[in-house]
Amino acid sequence: MSTEKTQPEEKGFFERIKDTIEEFWEGTKDTAEDIKDKAEDKFEDIKETVTAKKATATKKAAASKRKVAKKASEAKEAVAEKVSATTAKAKKETAEVKAKAATKAKAVTAEANEKAADIKAKADDKAKTINAKAKTTVAEAKKSATAAKESVSAKAKAVGTAAKTGATAVKNAATTTPRKKAVAKA
């Protein structure tokens, strides 16, 4: 008989595990390749979708940008108009206020000038009155002084005349009395 066995040899425990692992590995490899192919297909589909959406989004973004730019420029123009209108209004009001202030200043100045003129006229009148009164008083004083002078002068003349007359009488008497005595002795 032959030494070869007719029955297949039985595999050992580790060989069976090895075969099982190889089967799993090959099954897993096939599954992995299938999954890889599916993933690539899905990736391509998503890429196409994203590209299409990206183009649409880009178009929308460009349109939105234009709209926003247009609104911004309109808003800018509106603000500029409003600012210029407000500035013009403020300048107009300032001019009106300045005109009113100038008018009021002129009125106050005119009123002050009138009051000053009235006060000056009153002061001039009072000064004239006082001056006239002083002149009258001085004239009266002069008249009184002149009258007093004349009175004193008249009295002095009268006294002087009386004194002269008295002196002359005394002189005459003095000169006539010794002559009479001399004439009487002789």
pLDDT tens across the length of the chain (186 residues): 456 656 556 667 888 888 888 887 787 878 888 889 999 998 888 888 888 777 777 777 888 888 888 888 888 888 888 888 889 888 898 889 889 989 998 999 999 899 999 999 999 999 999 998 988 998 888 888 888 888 887 777 777 777 777 777 777 777 765 555 555 555
Instruction: Give start and end residues of each alpha helix (H) in the chain.
Output: 13-185
Measured between alpha carbons, how far is 45 from 52 in angstroms, rounded to an integer? 11
**What is residue 4's DSSP assignment?**
S
Measured between alpha carbons, how far is 166 from 169 in angstroms, rounded to an integer? 5
| DSSP H or E run through 3 | none
- Which residues 6+ apart lie within 8 Å of 51 measured at CB? none
Measured between alpha carbons, how far is 88 from 109 in angstroms, rounded to an integer? 31
Q: Residue 122 is which amino acid?
A: K
Longest pairwise C-alpha distance within the chain: 256
pTM, entire model = 0.34
